[in-house]
Chain A
Amino acid sequence: MGIRLNVNGVVHDLDVEPDAPLLWVIRDELNLTGTKFGCGVAACGACTVHVNGKATRSCVVPVGSVAGAQITTIEGLGAGAPTAVQQAWIEHQVPQCGYCQSGMIMAVSALLATNPAPTDDQLAAAITNICRCGTFPRIRAAVRDLAARKASGGAR
């Protein structure tokens, strides 16, 4: 029967097959298009969302497996105002085409929630998302900046 899905704090009862990929349910059933399709095989991370706070590549997640979970997409990040990560992305002028950045920001936000000051190696190990425009140097600079602010006790 139907699947109950909690996305960005809103509960939806959906008539979809349990094996439908979460990505396409988010995009085409809920019309939340900020989450992107890049590869369909969890290789690029463009479709990253949070499932119970954990960065998850939604293109390979059957929607039936996350019924009842708290799902957050880029549209649900922060409470109306840009988060510290989004602000750092603007300050460092990170995006180019911008297509991968929803997934990138979701992945980095989940990492920083558990490790607020990652080393470069920890960052590279955790963030394996692909950006074909090559914004990686600026992503690294933005995260270093966020980590340094955290280390110096700065406000977020």
Chain B
Amino acid sequence: MNRRKFLIGGATAAGALIVGYAFWPSRRLARADQLAAKSGERFVASWIKLANDGTITVVVPHCDMGTGIFTALSQMAADELDADWDKVRAETAPADPLFANGPLAEGFALEQVNIRGDSIPGFLRGGATGSLRVLAEYLDVQTTGGSSAVRFTGVYGMRVAGAAVREMLVKAAAAQMNAPAGEFRTEMSRVIHVPTGKSFGYGELAAAAAEYAPSARPKLKSASEFRFIGRPVPRLDIPAKVNGSTHYGIDTQFPDMYYAAIRISPVFGGKLVSLDEAPIARSRGVKKVVRFDDAVVVVADRLWRARNAVEVLQPVFNNAGNENISSKTIRDAQLAALNDGKIKKDLTTGVGAEALKNGKLVERLYNVPYLAHAPMEPPNATALYKKDGTLEVWSGTQDGLGSRAFCAKAAGLSLDKVTFHLLPSGGGFGRRLPGFWNFLTYAVKTAMAVPGVPVKLVFTREQEMQHDFYRPNVTSRFKAVVNHDGMPEAWVNDYTTDEDPNPEAHIFYAVPNQAYGTAKVAAYVPTGPWRSVEASWHGFFIESFIDELAHEAKKDPLEFRRELLQEKPRHLATLNLAAEKAGWGTPLPAGRGRGIAIFECFGTIVVHVAEVEVSDAGAVKVHRFTSAADCGTAVNPDGFRAQVESAVIFGLSAALYGEITIEHGAVEQQNFTDYEVVRLADTPEIEVHIHESDAPLGGAGEPGIPPVAPAVVNAIFAATEVRIRELPVKNQPLAVSARRG
């Protein structure tokens, strides 16, 4: 498996195999106390601290980028602990190898193994799960991505740790009373001796409990015993987010610190050729100009002074021969790659493309554009290179430990000389994942140019819009053959890619003969994972094409999908739930249409029904989204619904408006003024219904995205009979005068 796949996943979780959990020997706990325990508290097991006053702190090896995982993970630990919720806190784990996320590595390893159909390889299985933790350390894993926190860290880590701590507390009480452990029960952060009614608070027992070794296989609760899992517990982080007191990376402040503004070569790959610093030599507050291969940084005593100065400079960059690259040349290259016959075969089922010979052929081509992540907090980092040769960095990223290792490498220092403070992020969406840390590189190297002074480097929105790692632009071609009943017998899908084939292209519909292939296109624009990654484009392609086949067959799009999902009870139930709640088939006012789409990724199935109005003048108004989702059990149903609502809005921004275009080798868009996103006025009514099932826990942050765009274009087709095959919708003429029959 390649490292990126390993880190961010992206396939369907196939197993709920809990293989245990690596607990820390006492010397590890002592080191954890040193790193992250305050006076009066101690680590009792991995991820859980108990204080003498009974406070339970869940130490989370993830970042808070807004999805509510600190609360969900605390619910999972607290449930097994029989905790008093009022005494539960959550905090970010230190960016230290000791806190590498073994459960996350384990989850991804199992996922990868399961989709390949292999057994767990020896190097992952050996020594219970200890080696997996070592693997996580080796990979510097504290990643937040792949909708993984609850389904991996929660399932393999937090529940097991919580249950083990509960057993230790019972042992401590039993020893104090010299009574068998079986005579005790736990409730509301107390251990109760059933025969006598005598009870102990967890705080009283904390020090004694910490003396026991945590069990690697504690008894876990059954679902009927849950008190917090499955409940809409209010989020722990929200009170500080309504009064401005949450400190994000960008809020890192020190007296007499410096600030830095950057200008990067607008053309990708361009190098700095010359720079005249004279125009800012006398500018107030300017401290230093730092030259990079591909960028110029100005350091000043205030950020606005640094920014004004960098805008005065006229650095000369070369174009590295890329000045003629444009969206059109990229598209032409994609079409050439799809048409030149050099398709690399991926999966084939049945007789594959052979089946195209018999029956009526339907062929379609689709395209999605590059997209920016555009998180509200622009990328930034504060770094201090001390005179003793150590480095300290503060930033919001999607992997604290990985960031520390990355900064060490950028600075040419060993890991022990670098401290990294992971702070909450003002949105991530993939932008802050490992591999996409250009802001850390520039910040660290700038700090090394002004030793002894902390310096905060902040991308302007314009720099971020032009130097993101974009959701790829992808073209996909389908060929299907349908039988006399209009149902597909063959499904052949070739699409462009700049890396490996995507399992997300493989359909769950019952089509007997399938073939998939990829057409390699050279990368020019830097690309990266964007909320739901490969599913973000294959969801649009597959669910648009299946809708077209339904209309070709003159069948209702819901009924057509049902026919192809007879062997998939979860998919069918989720589809039916959304359709029923949306009033599928009931009459709509003139000019409106309904569209449906279903997709499964990160272990969760999501169905959206969009209700869209298109005016005679061609204006699109999305009135309503009715959504249904099956994620097994929603650990926090209100939080899960919030993630699906969020996905609808984020997905609508992309479907309706989102587009990064290239001209003369550079990104054309600059800011939210020309990279339009959904605001309150565009927000439809959104209803989210949860279909509970016995499936393993699925992800929440990403699975709502893929079916958004196809639900919208399918609804536009229902309203207008115009089929949109290239996003975004805003580029398609939809006025009555422009519609063709």
* A and B associate: yes
Task: For residue B221, give the distance in angstroms from its CB to the closest CB of chain A.
Answer: 26
Of chain B, the residue at the smallest CB distance from A73 is B244
CB–CB A98/B247 < 8 A:
no
Interface residue range, chain A: 35 or more
With A96-B68, A135-B646, A140-B680 known as contacts, the answer to whether A90 contacts B376 (CB < 8 A) is no
CB–CB B677/A130 < 8 A:
yes
Q: Which of B458, B460, B646 has most A Cβ within 10 Å?
A: B646
A21 interface residue (CB < 8 Å to B): yes
Q: Mark B357-380, 1 if CB is under 8 A from A, else 0.
A: 000000000000000001111100
Task: For residue A2, give the distance in angstroms from its CB to the closest CB of chain B.
Answer: 14
Q: Mark A56-73, 1 if CB is under 8 A from B, else 0.
A: 000000000000000001
Interface residue range, chain B: 35 or more
Partner of A96, one of B66, B672, B677: B66
CB–CB B284/A36 < 8 A:
no
CB–CB B242/A105 < 8 A:
yes
CB–CB B426/A31 < 8 A:
no
Partner of A17, one of B241, B245, B284, B653: B284
Residues of B within 8 A of A73 (CB): 244
CB–CB A124/B304 < 8 A:
no
A38 interface residue (CB < 8 Å to B): yes
Partner of B426, one of A43, A94, A98, A138: A98
Of chain A, the residue at the smallest CB distance from B68 is A96
CB–CB B679/A136 < 8 A:
yes
CB–CB A21/B679 < 8 A:
no
Bound-complex Cα distance A38 to B671 (A): 10
Bound-complex Cα distance A89 to B239 (A): 9
Residues of A within 8 A of B374 (CB): 132
Q: Which of B65, B67, B375, B427 has most A Cβ within 10 Å?
A: B427
Of chain B, the residue at the smallest CB distance from A98 is B241
The A-contacting residues of B in range 222-247, CB under 8 angstroms, are 234-235, 237-247
CB–CB A130/B244 < 8 A:
no
Partner of A101, one of B234, B241, B642, B679: B241
Task: For residue A89, give the distance in angstroms from its CB to the closest CB of chain B.
Answer: 5
Partner of A43, one of B235, B375, B458, B672: B672
CB–CB A43/B671 < 8 A:
yes
Residues of A within 8 A of B681 (CB): 124-125, 128
Partner of A35, one of B244, B304, B642: B244
CB–CB B304/A21 < 8 A:
yes
B339 interface residue (CB < 8 Å to A): no
CB–CB B253/A99 < 8 A:
no
Bound-complex Cα distance A131 to B375 (A): 9
Bound-complex Cα distance A129 to B683 (A): 12
Q: Mark A24-56, 1 if CB is under 8 A from B, else 0.
A: 100011011111111111011010000000000
Write the residues of chain B forming the contact surface with A, with a CB cutoff of 8 angstroms.
64-68, 234-235, 237-248, 250-251, 253, 259, 284, 302-304, 374-378, 424-429, 458, 460-462, 638-639, 642, 645-650, 653, 671-673, 677-681, 683, 685-686
Given contacts A96-B646, A133-B376, 4 further A-B contacts (CB under 8 A): A31-B253, A32-B244, A128-B681, A137-B645
Q: What would be 10 A-B contacts, judged by CB atoms less than 8 Å apart?
A: A34-B243, A40-B462, A43-B671, A44-B376, A74-B244, A127-B680, A128-B681, A137-B645, A137-B686, A140-B680
